[in-house]
Structure 1
Amino acid sequence: MTDLEGEPAVLEGEPAVEVHQAHPSLVLEDESVRSVVGAVLEGEGLEAASIGIILGDHGLVHELNREWLGHDYETDVVSFVLDEDALPRGRVEGEVYVDLDTAMERAPEFGVTMEHEALRYVAHGVLHLCGHDDATDQQRAAMRDLEDAYLDAAGV
């Protein structure tokens, strides 16, 4: 079902979370992604106005990181808040771009599957949309604790 502009319609009661499989060969189960997003939002006491989770590769995420954030290097996840005014109203509107190549490369380092590592990036990106930052060691540790808690809550 689509709305008048041809965009996917969100049915009443249906979460406003869209998962886009943009990697040429790696995928995550849409339901696993939605479960993690839901756990983060519930834990943060927020609702999804509209959240896009785009599962891409090195090239996509690197290009976005360079073009929009001014960082010319690969990274695991980038997030973009699309409506700054939504958060004070308890809603989140944004996009999270996850680099599945990085998840595949880094997962053995942490003794987890590619899926688990990529879902951590999903949680991390959504936490950024919820207003969390990771600029300091203390903030990074706090976000890591939240990621762990929300992955557990989602059954990951």
Structure 2
Amino acid sequence: MSPDGGPEAEGLEIHHEHETLRLDEDRVRAVVEAVCAGEGVEVVSLGVILGDHALVHELNREWLGHDYETDVVSFVLDEEAQADGQIDGEVYVDLDTAAERAPEFGVPTETEALRYVAHGVLHLCGHDDDTDEQRASMRALEDRYLKAAGI
């Protein structure tokens, strides 16, 4: 159990792949644990990779067929685990996009990047953001879980 009584994300690995930007690992862990507690899921294995434009753009192009930059991409590695309420996946966060967009929202870069972490984990929990209604729902969940994580 995490300090707030929610599930511990023991299978979480955080990888810093950006040359200069980093996130506090305790804050990343707190966001992941808040999402998991709220969604009632358990982390079996989750890699959170904190990268740059080039890394996330390449993954977006190669694996999703989208030739443009994006803030976060997620990959479910085990769909059966997902159906059983478990996370086995990867979340790639573009810290460059977070740094560029944070001033637009009046938040620190880290807060914007942690929103992307929450968003990516929500995708691994089965949430989609294809419609305006789904995007609004995910935004509300991101807000809830960031607040729960003390962000």
- Give 2:132's aligned amino acid: D
**4+ residue segments displaced more than 2 Å:** none
* 2:136 alignment partner in structure 1: 141
Q: What secondary structure is seen at the aligned counterpart in 1 of 2:79?
A: coil
Higher Rg:
1
Task: Count residues with an aligned counterpart.
Answer: 144
Letter in 2 for 1:26: L
- Structure-2 residue corresponding to 1:122: 117
Answering whether residue 52 of structure 2 is matched by residue 57 of structure 1, we say yes
Q: 1:1-156 residue pairs with structure 2 within 5 A?
A: 15-156=10-151
Distance 2:114 2:103 in 1: 15
Tell me, what secondary structure is at the counterpart of 2:98?
helix
- Cα distance in 1 for partners of 2:83, 2:55 equals 30
Unaligned runs of at least 5 residues, structure 2: 1-7
Q: Secondary structure, in 3 states, of the residue corresponding to 1:134?
A: coil
**Alpha-carbon spacing, 1:91–1:108, altered in 2? closer, same or farther (3 Å):** same
Structure 1: gaps (5+ residues):
1-12
- TM-score, with structure 2 as normaliser: 0.94
* % same residue: 70
User: What RMSD, in angstroms, separates the aligned Cα atoms of the two structures?
Assistant: 0.9
Amino acid of the structure 2 residue aligned with 1:77? V
Counterparts of 1:75 and 1:48, CA distance in 2: 24
How far apart are residue 88 of structure 1 and its match?
A: 2.1
Q: Note the C-alpha offset of 1:87.
A: 1.6
- In the superposition, the TM-score normalised over structure 1's length comes to 0.91
> Structure 1 CA distance, aligned partners of 2:95 and 2:85?
29
> Secondary structure of 1:86's match?
helix
